[in-house]
Amino acid sequence: MEVTSQRKKSLSGWIVLACLAGGWGCAPPSAEAPGADLRRDATVAAVEKALPCVVNIATSKIVKVLDSYDPIFQRFYGHQKEELNSVGSGVIIDEDGYFLTNLHVLERASRVQVKLSDGTIWDVERGKTIRDTDLALLRIQAPDGKKFHAMKLAKDDDLLLGESVIAVGNPFGLGGTVTRGILSSRSRRLPSHGKVQEWLQTDADINPGNSGGPLINLRGELIGINVAEGEGQGIGFAIPVKQIAAALAKFYTPESARALWFGARVTPFNAPLTISFVQPRSPADQAGLRVGQRVLNVNHQPARNLVEFQRLVTARPDNAAALEVEENGRRRSLTARLVSFDDLIRQRIGVRLENITATNAASVSGAPGDGVIIESIEKDSLADKAKLRAGFVIVAIDDQKTSEVFDAADVLSARTAGERVAISFVVPPSFGAGAGRYNTTVILR
């Protein structure tokens, strides 16, 4: 029997009244599965996944550094103290204990320790830094075989304007704290360290102590490293994952790890790895590696990330690396023969160099990082003809500071026969008359 429209309305009203009178509430049947918790949404899942990967960075003494961040540190941390102070956050990106933080956080630490979400405290090995990106890579000092929770990096350009993002860190030393917002801008150009940086912008609160911690998406993936809070509420900034991946490609190289010249870089951090840079005339170039090739195996083993790639490339005692790559759908087998820094520098200018250390610094009246000491010189070499002598300190090559042997090798590896190379060096006071800084030029053979 057909019910008229008026009768339908009347019936609906009586049903509502009956429900209210009976206290039923008339809520629709719950779609919640038995035993499920409606509070456990994507944000909660992402936070639970991220927290074990986040570290609280502490130091026994806060060091004053004259930069744009110093007023913040002085306001919240006051004068230098000897007890353990929390100065920032970090995020573990590899299960062997490698983690990222901001360089401006690390510079304020006289002795670095990290505290994990499980309460354990670990000492930290000093690592690599890239000042232009305000990033530092360090490693937790742990027994061999110890594994840590590591955060996965998002794809370089997998960023959605307006998507929900979460900042994780230790603001004001309070311990693991999360704030949520949206991605307000994918490319905000702001001045930092004397140059303009392109940062992510978010309205998730980023406070002192959040610096160095991760900005994550709802998958729990790293999309940025928190770097600074804005001038007002609702504005914070983070180094984007694309810049992080580029920095990691510089950190994880045979050159930085083992002082071996390879001459190629791969990205992103996790497999599949792709050749992103090849230095002309390098061992990688001579082997046939080209930009865009996808790395399948190294020494017959798959490399799941940059850490393993670096380890496998430098694993053989003969410094040879057998690589299988894919290019235009075809597989190729290549062999790169890495060259030690010592051999590279000796071949180019005829000297053997050593870093200035706490042990030998007094002999050259210098300090670690001031330059590299000439340990020996080959007879009739370019260096010998340029009147360089053992004990002199090379401080720059082609106006690029040589803080360590790596810097000298990096410059010389990019030069070819016939090029002029300017060398700035210091004659230490121990040589008596003639001590001071000088410049010379050699023409590479």
Domain of residue 407, CATH code:
2.30.42.10
Q: Which helix H or strand E contains 382, and what residues bound it?
A: helix 382-385
Q: Is the pLDDT of residue 354 over 90?
A: yes
Q: Are residues 274 and 228 in the same domain?
A: no
Q: Is the pLDDT of residue 17 over 50?
A: no
Identify whether the C-beta of residue 374 lies closer than 8 Å to the C-beta of residue 389.
yes
Q: Are residues 345 and 423 in the same domain?
A: yes
CA separation for the pair 415, 279 (Å, rounded): 11
CA separation for the pair 28, 59 (Å, rounded): 55
Identify whether the C-beta of residue 254 lies closer than 8 Å to the C-beta of residue 263.
no
Q: Are residues 369 and 276 in the same domain?
A: no
Cis ω for the linkage preceding 268 (within 30 of 0): yes
pLDDT digits (tens, 9 = 90+) for 246-268: 889 888 899 988 889 999 999 88
Whether residue 28 lies inside any domain: the answer is no
Predicted local distance difference test score (pLDDT) of residue 70: 57
Q: Are residues 226 and 270 in the same domain?
A: no
The three-class DSSP label of residue 171 is: helix
pLDDT digits (tens, 9 = 90+) for 136-167: 999 999 998 999 999 999 988 889 999 999 99
pLDDT digits (tens, 9 = 90+) for 399-431: 999 999 989 998 999 888 889 999 999 999 999
Between 190 and 322, the more confident residue is 322
Catalytic residue list contains 300: no
Catalytic residue among 134, 205, 407, 410: 134
**What sign does the dihedral 311-312-317-322 (CA atoms) show?**
negative
**What sign does the dihedral 392-394-395-396 (CA atoms) show?**
positive
Whether residue 30 lies inside any domain: the answer is no
Q: Are residues 214 and 298 in the same domain?
A: no
Catalytic residue among 192, 211, 381, 424: 211
Q: State percent of the chain over pLDDT 90.
A: 58
Q: Are residues 261 and 329 in the same domain?
A: yes
Predicted local distance difference test score (pLDDT) of residue 36: 77
CA separation for the pair 103, 135 (Å, rounded): 5
Predicted local distance difference test score (pLDDT) of residue 383: 95
Can you give the CATH number for the domain in which 112 is found?
2.40.10.10
Whether residue 94 lies inside any domain: the answer is yes
Last residue of a domain, one of 337, 361, 377: 337
pLDDT digits (tens, 9 = 90+) for 102-111: 988 777 666 7
Predicted local distance difference test score (pLDDT) of residue 234: 76
Predicted local distance difference test score (pLDDT) of residue 58: 80
Predicted local distance difference test score (pLDDT) of residue 20: 42
Last residue of a domain, one of 337, 364, 381: 337
Q: Are residues 218 and 309 in the same domain?
A: no
The three-class DSSP label of residue 357 is: coil
Of the pLDDT bands very low, low, confident and very high (cuts 50, 70, 90), residue 293 is: very high
The three-class DSSP label of residue 379 is: coil
| Residue where the block lists tokens 């060096």 | 425
DSSP letter, residue 430: G
Helices (H), 23-161: 42-50, 70-77, 103-106
Whether residue 20 lies inside any domain: the answer is no
The three-class DSSP label of residue 225 is: strand
Predicted local distance difference test score (pLDDT) of residue 342: 93
Q: Which domain holds residue 56?
A: 47-140
* Number of compact structural domains in the chain: 4
Catalytic residue list contains 67: no
**Cα distances (Å, whole numbers) of residue 296 to 185, 261, 443:** 35, 21, 40
Catalytic residue list contains 104: yes
Q: What is the mean pLDDT of residues 68-83?
A: 51
Q: Are residues 351 and 436 in the same domain?
A: yes
Q: What is the mean pLDDT of residues 384-395?
A: 96
pLDDT digits (tens, 9 = 90+) for 88-128: 899 999 998 999 999 887 776 667 889 898 889 999 987 77
Catalytic residue among 94, 104, 192, 205: 104
Whether residue 150 lies inside any domain: the answer is no
Q: Is the pLDDT of residue 196 over 70?
A: no
Q: Are residues 234 and 263 in the same domain?
A: no
Between 77 and 362, the more confident residue is 362
pLDDT digits (tens, 9 = 90+) for 198-255: 899 999 988 777 889 999 999 999 999 998 665 556 788 999 999 999 889 888 899 9
Q: Are residues 436 and 346 in the same domain?
A: yes
Predicted local distance difference test score (pLDDT) of residue 25: 44
Q: Are residues 350 and 438 in the same domain?
A: yes
Whether residue 118 lies inside any domain: the answer is yes
pTM flag (> 0.95): no
Whether residue 72 lies inside any domain: the answer is yes
Predicted local distance difference test score (pLDDT) of residue 85: 67
- Mean pLDDT computed over every residue of the chain: 84
Q: Are residues 358 and 322 in the same domain?
A: no
pLDDT digits (tens, 9 = 90+) for 318-330: 999 999 999 999 9
Last residue of a domain, one of 140, 173, 199: 140
Q: Is the pLDDT of residue 377 over 70?
A: yes
Predicted local distance difference test score (pLDDT) of residue 323: 97
Of the pLDDT bands very low, low, confident and very high (cuts 50, 70, 90), residue 187 is: confident
pLDDT digits (tens, 9 = 90+) for 27-55: 455 555 666 788 989 999 999 999 999 99
Whether residue 9 lies inside any domain: the answer is no
Of the pLDDT bands very low, low, confident and very high (cuts 50, 70, 90), residue 65 is: low
Amino acid letter, residue 395: V
